Structure 1
Amino acid sequence: MAKLSTHVLDTANGIPAQGVKLEFFRVEGSSPRLIKTLTTNDDGRTDELLLDESSIEVGEYIIVFHVADYFSKNNTKQDKPTFLNRIPLHFGISDTNANYHVPLLVSPWSYSTYKGS
């Protein structure tokens, strides 16, 4: 079953990042179109998939993670202004039969991601 999912891990505190707002866009021409806004659960995942087998399409997408708000709510020390505020991840889906997983490992000063399945 093809799908797109995400997961946010707080590497500064060694925990799943609960309560991270994320905005999910499909890139259509010069203007990204907002598909949905979600918040991560206790496990740092969203309760619903970003795309399921009925909605996954070849194309370019963006997930914007609102990390400064998350770290502020959790009283994690940050610079003022914050070094990282919102992290936009631009990526493409080329196979509508595949599972795509886009995790974010984040601290107030760095982040990394990879293509999971």
Structure 2
Amino acid sequence: MTDLTTHVLDTAHGIPAAGVRIRLFAAGAAGGPLAEAETDANGRAKIVPANGVAFDSGSYDLVFSVGAYFGAKGAAEPAPRFLDDVVIRFGLRAGAAHLHVPLLISPFGYTTYRGQ
């Protein structure tokens, strides 16, 4: 079974982004999220499908609620926020041992890459 993890870092404040809500969807599929998680105090989260089944090969969307995170931090940006949800669409091969998707965020930008 593929192990899917993420690490969210708040580059605006120089800290791990604790409490970021994350949802995982099959890209282009109707219906609700396959998994939901929230980053811990170190900005890390493990994404586990709610039904406990292995990931199929295909495209997936990780949706990070960064607007809510920065709003809770007291960011003074007026509504609507420049960034609300950050969506990362990625491909996954069934049977892959591990996939790590880090996200570095600020109220006005983000970057991601395939981590180890």
TM-score, normalization: structure 2?
Answer: 0.85
Inter-partner Cα distance in structure 2 for 1:102 and 1:109: 20
Inter-partner Cα distance in structure 2 for 1:2 and 1:23: 17
Q: Residue 92 of structure 2 aligns to which amino acid in structure 1?
A: I
What CA RMSD, in Å, does the superposition of the two structures yield over aligned residues?
Answer: 2.2
Q: CA offsets per residue over residues 4-58 of structure 1, 9 Å max, x none?
A: 111111010000001111111123x543651122111100112xx2148x62331
CA positional deviation for 1:70: 0.4
Q: Residue 16 of structure 1 aligns to which amino acid in structure 2?
A: P
Aligned to 1:14: 14
- Written as runs of structure 1 = structure 2, the 5 A alignment for 1:1-117 is 2-27=2-27, 30-31=29-30, 33-46=32-45, 49-51=46-48, 55-94=54-93, 96-117=95-116
Gaps of 5+ in 1: none
Alpha carbons 1:62, 1:91 under 8 Å: kept: yes
Q: Residue 83 of structure 1 aligns to which amino acid in structure 2?
A: F
CA positional deviation for 1:93: 0.7
Alpha carbons 1:3, 1:56 under 8 Å: kept: no
Q: Cα–Cα, structure 1 residues 77 and 114, in superposed 2: closer, same or farther, change >3 Å? A: same
Aligned residues: 114
Inter-partner Cα distance in structure 1 for 2:76 and 2:54: 39
Deviating beyond 3 angstroms after TM superposition, the runs of 4 or more aligned structure 1 residues are none
Q: Cα–Cα, structure 1 residues 83 and 51, in superposed 2: closer, same or farther, change >3 Å? A: same
3-state SS, counterpart of residue 12 of structure 1:
coil
Gaps of 5+ in 2: none
Q: Residue 25 of structure 2 aligns to which amino acid in structure 1?
A: F
Inter-partner Cα distance in structure 1 for 2:73 and 2:96: 38
Q: CA offsets per residue over residues 64-90 of structure 1, 9 Å max, x none?
A: 100111001111232432100011111
